[in-house]
Amino acid sequence: MKKMLLSIFLLWIILAPAFAAQKDRGITVTSDLSHESEKLGTYYALIIGIQNYNDDKIPDLETPLNDAKAIEAVLKSKYGFVCQTLYDEKATKKSIYNLMRSFALKVKPEDSVLIYYAGHGDIDKTYNDGWWIPVDATAGDPITYLDNTQIQKAMRSMKARHVLLISDSCYSGTLFGQARSLPSVIDDKYYLSLYNEKSRWGMTSGNKTPVSDSGTAGHSIFAYQLIKKLKNNTQPYISTQELYTQIAPIIGNNSEQTPLCRPIKNTGDQGGEFVFVMVQTSQIKGDAISSNDTTVDKLAKERELLEKQRQELEDLKAEIEERKEIDEERQKIEAEKKRLLDEKSQTVASTNSRPSKESILEIKGPFVKFKNGVVLDKRTQLEWLVYTGHENTIGWFKAKKWALNTQYDGGGWRMPKYKEIQSLYKGLAQKINKNYIFSQSVRFVWYADTATSRINLRNGKIIPETSRTLPTLILAVRKKK
């Protein structure tokens, strides 16, 4: 007998730590399932309400702000939530995305998170998925929408025990997995089992169809019933499915929309369910609690202030990162702009620079003739170009216009002056027309000093306009580039 007792005692010593560890794995008694026990972790709510859109092509809504603010009020006062809100102009795609990421980083395994969205939604017929429409979205441009897969990714990444998505928007029924039914008996064990298992659920105002924005008392049909039930609840606990089963028939009877309530697919649901726990500032009698709404206790207010400060810090970090990205992008643009300008300068310089020896056709005395027809006078550093048009003769005004407008070899040409033409005679025996550079059979050349006057190429004398039929050489000149 003593040996048996000794064996039992030794066995108890070995197994006792295991029993203790098993007991500590979750909440085991109903008294622990309360905010006052401080064993539930923090109940967070991320509330998004968009009523007035930036893009005029996206119609504004009537009820999302009233709905979101009423949800915020009842969650704070009656269920001890710490709320973070994005209303109207603050609910940009980037802000929603950043807030989701911040929740994924900061929530702890014992916390619970509720995400509420009221605003426009749309369906992606190509991928059979859905979108939320942020306040800064562009109508018809899916790139500016927030894809449902981003919501799923955020829910999957959160370490919280429970995450519940409540979406009051069109086409919101694209997120769900398989449904689970309520048990026949709902008691304390039921709530404990729901709470202890991880959950990722969603409740939506409709399936893959549009939903109504109008309803009762300034709220949508869905939001009105949800707020009413949360306010009037007198039980210490109420699960997501209980809420749904009480409001869904009323919504269905008064509208064409069909609410849904199921686990969210691909987010890590493990069979639990989000449980709303009332703030118990009065003594619970039996299964009931005082129906008067309670105010958030001091600890909840401190948590809310801390959450606000944390979010301000996250927003500041996000702003700094965004400014860094903008500066980096600006530097890239400036560097690329400089590169292109340098490339352009090099191209222009290459085009306007005097060609190498390979492009020289002939050199005679001070004159260099290039293959492109341009003649350089090395004494004056003037470049000359001869008109080679098909007309036998054109008047002074047309000649001047051609000289100014021609873009040959980079442009910059003009009609030559009298002294510039005279400079060509030096060392040429005053017979410029016999010089190979200006191998022309004409005897006259237009010059710019006096309108309709020309120079006799054989003697360099000025002659007035006497006949328009005289063949006249047309020249253009410019300084060497």
pLDDT value of position 1: 54
Alpha-carbon dihedral angle through residues 406, 411, 416, 420, given to the nearest 10 degrees: -150
- Give whole-number Cα distances, 171 to 207, 209, 244, in Å: 6, 5, 18
Q: How many angstroms separate the CA atoms of 302 and 322, rounded? A: 30
Find the helix or strand (DSSP H, E) in which 113 lies: strand 112-118
Give residues with Cβ within 8 angstroms of 156, minimum separation 6: 200, 266, 267, 268
- Give whole-number Cα distances, 325 to 105, 216, 418, in Å: 22, 46, 63
pLDDT value of position 427: 46
> Regarding the domain delimited by 37-281+294-315, which CATH topology (the fold level of the hierarchy) does it fall under?
Rossmann fold (3.40.50)
Ramachandran region, residue 128 (left: φ > 0; alpha: ψ -120 to 50; beta: rest): left
365-385 tens-digit pLDDT: 788 888 888 989 888 899 999
Do 37-281+294-315 and 359-479 share a fold?
no
pLDDT value of position 365: 79
Question: Domain segments of the chain: what residues?
Answer: 37-281+294-315, 359-479
pLDDT value of position 220: 87
pLDDT value of position 296: 44
The CATH classification of domain 359-479, taken from the options 3.40.140.10, 3.10.100.10, 2.40.50.140, 1.10.580.10: 3.10.100.10
Q: Which two tokens stand for residue 42?
A: 């923090």
β partners of residue 456: 444
Nearest to 82 by CA among 41, 42, 27, 118: 42
pLDDT value of position 19: 41
Nearest to 53 by CA among 150, 139, 181, 159: 139
φ, ψ of residue 48 to 5 degrees: the values are: -120, 125
Q: How many angstroms separate the CA atoms of 178 and 29, rounded? A: 30
Task: Give average pLDDT by consecutive 10-residue segment, the chain, 481 residues.
Answer: 53 46 49 73 94 92 92 93 94 93 90 94 77 91 88 90 87 50 50 77 70 67 91 90 88 78 82 87 36 48 73 81 85 85 62 58 84 88 85 79 90 90 62 52 78 73 66 86 72
